[in-house]
Amino acid sequence: MTDISANLVLGDKKVDLPVKSGSIGPDVIDIGALYKNTGTFTYDPGFTSTASCESKITYIDGDNGILLHRGYPIEQLAEHGDFLETCYLLLYGELPSAAQKKDFDHRVTMHTMVHEQMSRFFTGFRRDAHPMAVMCGCVGALSAFYHDSTDITDPHQRMVASLRMIAKMPTLAAMAYKYHIGQPFVYPQNDLDYASNFLRMCFAVPCEEYKVNPVLSRAMDRIFILHADHEQNASTSTVRLAGSSGANPFACIAAGIACLWGPAHGGANEAALNMLTEIGTVDRIPEYIARAKDKNDPFRLMGFGHRVYKNYDPRAKIMQKTTHEVLGELGHKDDPLLQVAMELERIALTDEYFIEKKLYPNIDFYSGITLKAMGFPTTMFTVLFALARTVGWIAQWAEMIEDPQQRIGRPRQLYTGEPQRDYVPVSKR
């Protein structure tokens, strides 16, 4: 709490609203007692000025392009750490010691297999089902298999559920992919690291030996780190809202996956690659830039713009570097999509429309090209985002459950429909 308060005058009523400060970032006006004292609500569709919770996990300074997890810059985590270390950090608040890291890796790894009956769930889906549809169903179904970790009042069960989801998401994601392409499921191999294990489950086949390429597994791991958490975005807020009613964690994460799927959120990586493919060649870029600027055309440059970042998305910078590493390793340096992406970025960064609106490339702009080069079909891109974001959703969900002030989330509304009126029998309508 700060010494200052915000004074609101509403007709003949005057209220003092306390102002709270975080450790960094904008202060917030606490309007919790506003309705009680004035009978009015605040109105902020899209939450552009509303902090929905207090959190210690992730901090974003969108104007300066800064992203911190528990205080650590994303650039340092991506450069020096690995994904499971980031998971530990997000869940426990500190970087692990070597012994804690070893123990945590082991605790996650021993949960990588899924109940054998889960495989029958997959066969209930059409082969051409979008893998995100499959993920929504299968992750939600985990609550039907792991009854011993759905009691949210028990901290031990909460942690077991968390580890289970971090461990099983790669297995489920790989199964969704294998089912989609008609290949047999590949069981996890626990002597591999997290990212290598995932690549093997996706790309190995029983008839051949599969050797993990260390450049690709490092890139995969870094992509997971970059997507691990992003404070109160749409899917995380969905998970928190679902969890606020006391729903079990598997159901909450399934809700987050559903929200992530949309093209304005996690689906943007798929949409960005589809857009680059549609543009096809550098000479067609001006046509698409013109469309993006045309108010009467719904087309947007996918992979550009962000609600919070009004500067270069720091994740996009690391992603761009990773793209070059992967394409270099695979001999795809001349990929026409990369040429289109780089030229599009160059033009957009110098175009008045994009400069004025502060539209910079976001993480999804380059991730699609990288994932495509690694062998993933576009429909898997958002699944990989969901896999990596699971730890963020879980950390945010756990923080909410542990908050003594936690109550069910229940926004109010500005009602503009019909006032009360009397029922008219059908014969008189």
The contact set with ligand CMC (CB under 6 A) reads: 230, 233, 264-266, 268, 292, 300-307, 357, 359, 362-364
> Minimum distance from CB of 301 to ligand CMC (Å)?
4
Q: Which is nearer to ligand CMC, 222 or 306 (CB)?
A: 306
Inter-axis angle of helices 249-260 and 381-402, to 10 degrees?
Answer: 140
Of 221 and 364, CB closest to ligand CMC: 364
What is the Cα–Cα distance from 259 to 280, expressed in whole angstroms?
A: 29
Query: Least distance (Å) from ligand CMC to the CB of residue 254?
Result: 18
CB of 291 to ligand CMC, least distance (A): 9
> Minimum Å distance from CB 316 to ligand CMC?
9
Residue closest to ligand CMC, measured at CB: 305
Q: How far is the CB of 264 from ligand CMC (least distance, A)?
A: 4
Q: Taking the complex as a whole, how short is the minimal distance between the CB of residue 152 and ligand CMC, in angstroms?
A: 27
Active site residue 180: no
The residue (of 149 and 233) whose beta carbon lies closer to ligand CMC is: 233
- For ligand CMC, the closer CB: 41 or 47: 47
Task: Specify the residue, 203 or 365, whose C-beta has the smaller distance to ligand CMC.
Answer: 365
Q: Cβ 389 to ligand CMC, closest distance in Å?
A: 9
Burial class (CB in 10 A: 0-12, 13-18, 19+), 83: buried
Catalytic residue among 69, 193, 306, 313: 306
What does residue 176 show for φ and ψ, rounded to 5 degrees?
Answer: -60, -40
Q: Which is nearer to ligand CMC, 151 or 297 (CB)?
A: 297
Q: Retrieve residue 136's tokens.
A: 């929504």
Is 152 or 359 the residue whose CB approaches ligand CMC more closely? 359
Active site residue 3: no
- Which residues form the catalytic set? 306, 364
